[in-house]
Every structure is written in C-alpha cells, then in structure tokens.
C-alpha cells in the first residue's frame, strides 16, 4: 500500500515535471516569436520615424507620400550586381558629419573655380546625392535672382558643403529674371518649382534668398509634416523673429504642401508682401508653420542696398488682405513665362526667364 502511494506521488511529480517542461518550451517559443515581432516592428517604427522626419506624415486629405522601401526589400528583391545604390540603407535622421555653429565671413574675394574645386563631388547642374546611403528626401533648392553675383558666390561657397554634410539628394536652381523690368520674387519661385519638377522627382522645395547663409548646419534644408520656416534668427533682425507670421527668407514646402496652396502668387511686383501672402495661403488651407529653435535657425544676411527695379510694392497691403479670394486663380495653375536660357554648371542650374510685366 505504502509502495503504491509512493508510486502515485512519483507519477504526479513526473507529470508535473513534464508539464513544467512543456510550459517552459512554450515560453521559449512565445518569447522567440515575440522577439522576431519586436525586430520587425522596430524596423517598421524606424521607417515611420523617417517618414515623419521626411515630412511623409500628412493629413488624410493629402496625396499619398512615397514611403521609403524597407531595408530588407532593398537587399533581396532590388539588388543587382551593377547597381550599388540598391544595397544602400537609408541615411540616418541625424547626419553624422554635421559641425554645428559655423563662422561666416563675407569679406574675402571668391572665384567660382575655387568653389568648384572645394566641391568635387557635385554633378552637372548643381546636383548631389550621398554615396554611402539613400537620402531621406529629394530636395530642389530654388533661389530667385538678378544681378547678385557676389552674393551668389558666398552662398555657393558656404551652403553647398553644408547640403552635402546634410546628406541630401539635391539640385540647385538659380532662377534669373531677364531684363530690367520690375522684380517678381514669388513668380520666380513658382518658375523654379515648375522647372525643377521637369528634371527629377523632387519631393521637397526649399526657397531661399541669395543673400542668406545658414550659421548652423544642424538646420537641415529639408521638409517636414508642416511647412517649415528656416531663417528664424537673421542677424539683420537682431537674431530674432521680427514678427510671428514671417515666412520670407528661407522656407521649405513638400510638393503636396506647395500644390495645396496653388504655389505662390504671380502678382506681387517689386519688394514686399509676397511672403506674407504665402503665409496666408498656408493658414487658409489649415496648415501651420514649424521652425527650428533660434540657435539652430541663425542666419547671416549679406548686407545690401535695395536693388533697382525692386521698389516697395504699393499694392502689397491690399493684395495681402485678399489672399483667400484670389489664391485659387493666382498661382502655379496660372503661371505663364518664357525660358530664355538654361546654363548647366557644376555649381548650379541657372535658368534665365522672361516673367513678363505687371
């Protein structure tokens, strides 16, 4: 009897041991599956993060943004022995070679040859893309221009190396107004957009005055989920925002953001107002403006006098008051211009255009 009791308890103990062993194996299996999931999820999460950084996150009303391919697909399905780019990973959100604050001197004499020599990796037309990774964004930089060759040299000298350190896939477009008629900055910017999209699948457009040089390379020339104003602390304005709604200087819009506001007005002739009109457009379409902090957003404006044929536009206040009523008819959908000349240099694509008259 005693033996049979012992045997019974031994049987129970054995069953328990086998059961615990089974539970143990089950736990290991579940943990393993979960680990796989976590790795997969973290990969997805990194993608989502880079989409947020690239401005890919957007409201439900906008057109779908091209999501970067996950790295796994790139290695397996797309790799080929000749095409190295397919083996590359996406560039990191924080480019590794940034230097932070920079000293900007605008007193030395520069030649375009010196600047070309300093930027050996630039391709014809002021194009660049990093060799070691796939850029998070394809960016067209657009500069409205006329008779500011000295300023342009400083811009090229300082900003090209910054854009390369920022690991952008970019192209530089100088939109030069032909003739001596009244200057039209915003129309030149629209032309820059229209010409750039003909050349490459740009996703982001950075519109910059020729005289603004960033003083900190952490201010990345890229787009965000909302329109970005980059030149937040300009020396000329005592390194602070002159007013909260300012959108002039350097600003960045995704293609979707730009098209949503019908681009910029073509009807601001002469100095002023066109930047406030853009701000009105953004707000009226439910967007808001994002900015870097005033340390990262520091800029030097090269000193200059008011140019000839760019006198303050007396109509500007009246026009800004009616942005909402006019914007759907006045913009990239009503843009008319003539290309006079296209010059491809290693440092830039310069497009000389006839913008017409007021």
Residues that bind ligand UD2 (CB under 6 A): 143-148, 183, 185, 209-211, 231, 234, 246, 248-249, 271-272, 274-275, 307, 310
Task: Respond yes or no: is residue 211 known to be catalytic.
Answer: yes
Residue 271 binds which entry of ligand UD2, Mn ion, none, CB below 5-8 Å type-dependent: ligand UD2
Query: According to CB under 5 A, which one of 169, 195, 203, 211 is a site residue for Mn ion?
Result: 211
Residue tagged active-site, from 169, 195, 203, 275: 275
**Residue 148 beta carbon to ligand UD2: minimum distance, rounded to whole angstroms:** 4
Instruction: Name the packing angle between helices 274-284 and 185-199 (round to 10°).
Output: 60
Q: What backbone phi and psi angles, to 5 degrees, belong to 298?
A: -75, 140
Distances (CA, A) of 325 to 178, 189, 246, 319, 330: 30, 21, 21, 10, 10
135 vs 268 by CB, closer to ligand UD2: 268
Least separation in angstroms between CB 143 and ligand UD2:
6
Binding of residue 217 to Mn ion (CB under 5 A):
no
Question: How far is Cα 358 from Cα 352, in angstroms, rounded to an integer?
Answer: 18
Q: Among residue numbers 101 through 120, which ones bind Mn ion (CB under 5 A)?
A: none
CB of 169 or CB of 275, closer to ligand UD2: 275
- Least Å distance between CB 249 and Mn ion? 8
Cα diameter, the chain: 117
Select from 58-66, 129-137, 154-162, 204-212 the region that touches Mn ion (CB under 5 A): 204-212
In the list Mn ion, ligand UD2, none, the entry touching 330 (Cβ below 5 to 8 angstroms by class) is none
Cβ(253)–Cβ(202) below 8 Å = no
Q: Which among 58, 116, 271, 354 is annotated as catalytic? A: 271
The secondary structure element, H or E, covering residue 142 is: strand 138-145
- Looking at beta carbons only, is 171 or 214 nearer to Mn ion? 214
Task: Enter the tokens of residue 83.
Answer: 């095409």
Q: Please, which residue, 90 or 159, has the CB nearer to ligand UD2?
A: 159
User: In a 10 Å sphere around its CB, with 0-12 CB exposed, 13-18 middle and 19+ buried, how is residue 19 labelled?
Assistant: exposed
The answer to whether 187 and 145 are in contact (CB under 8 A) is: no
304 is catalytic: yes
- The C-alpha R_g of the chain, in whole angstroms, comes to 28
Tell me the window of 76-84, 185-193, 211-219, 273-281 that interacts with Mn ion (CB under 5 A). Answer: 211-219
Catalytic: 89? Answer: no
Give the integer Cα–Cα distance in Å for 6 and 122. Answer: 85
Partner that binds at residue 275, options ligand UD2, Mn ion, none, CB closer than 5 to 8 Å by kind: ligand UD2
Instruction: Give yes or no: 306 in active site.
Output: yes
Q: Which of 304, 307, 318, 341 is catalytic?
A: 304
Angle at 307 between CA 240 and CA 250, to 5 degrees: 35
For the bound state, the minimum distance from the C-beta of residue 301 to Mn ion, rounded and expressed in Å, comes to: 5
Q: Which of the following is catalytic: 209, 217, 256, 277?
A: 209
The listed partner (ligand UD2, Mn ion, none) that binds 145, CB under 5 to 8 Å by sort, is ligand UD2
First to last CA, the chain: 114
The torsion defined by the Cα of 221, 222, 227 and 233, in degrees rounded to 10, comes to -20
Any catalytic annotation for residue 354?
no
Pairing between strand 169-177 and 127-128? Answer: antiparallel
- 218 classed as catalytic: no
Q: How far apart are CA 86 and CA 79, in angstroms?
A: 5
Distance (Å, rounded) from C-alpha 166 to C-alpha 252? 15
Catalytic residues: 209, 211, 271, 274-275, 301, 304, 306
Binding region for Mn ion (CB under 5 A): 211
């Amino acid at each position: 009897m005693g033996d049979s009791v012992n045997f019974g308890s031994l049987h129970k103990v054995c069953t328990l041991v086998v059961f615990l062993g089974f539970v143990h194996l089950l736990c290991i299996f579940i943990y393993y599956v979960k680990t796989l999931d976590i790795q997969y999820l973290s990969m997805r999460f990194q993608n989502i993060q880079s989409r947020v950084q690239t401005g890919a996150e957007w409201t439900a009303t906008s057109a779908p943004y091209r999501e970067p391919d996950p790295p796994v697909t790139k290695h397996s399905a797309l790799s080929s022995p000749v095409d190295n780019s397919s083996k590359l990973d996406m560039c990191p959100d924080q480019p590794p070679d940034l230097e932070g604050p920079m000293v900007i001197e605008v007193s030395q004499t520069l030649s375009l040859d010196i600047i070309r020599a300093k930027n050996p990796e630039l391709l014809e037309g002021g194009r660049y893309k990093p060799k070691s990774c796939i850029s998070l964004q394809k960016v067209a930089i657009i500069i409205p221009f006329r008779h500011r060759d000295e300023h342009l040299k400083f811009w090229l000298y300082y900003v090209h190396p910054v854009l390369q350190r920022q690991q952008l896939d970019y192209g530089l477009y100088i939109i030069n107004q032909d003739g001596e008629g009244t200057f039209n900055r915003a129309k030149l910017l629209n032309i820059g957009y229209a010409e750039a999209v003909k050349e490459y699948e740009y996703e982001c457009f950075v519109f910059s005055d020729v005289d603004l040089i960033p003083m900190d390379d952490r201010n990345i020339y890229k787009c965000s989920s909302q329109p970005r104003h980059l030149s937040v602390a300009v020396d000329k304005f005592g390194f602070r925002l002159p007013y909260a709604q300012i959108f002039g200087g350097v600003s960045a819009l995704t293609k979707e953001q730009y098209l949503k506001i019908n681009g910029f007005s073509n009807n601001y002739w002469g100095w002023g107002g066109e930047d406030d009109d853009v701000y009105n457009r953004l707000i009226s379409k439910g967007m808001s403006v994002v900015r870097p902090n005033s340390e990262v957003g520091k800029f030097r404006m090269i000193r200059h006098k008011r140019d000839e044929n760019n006198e303050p536009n007396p109509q500007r206040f009246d026009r800004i008051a009616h942005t909402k009523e006019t914007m759907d008819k006045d913009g990239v959908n009503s843009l008319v211009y003539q290309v006079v000349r296209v010059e491809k240099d290693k440092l830039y694509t310069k497009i000389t255009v006839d913008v017409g008259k007021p």
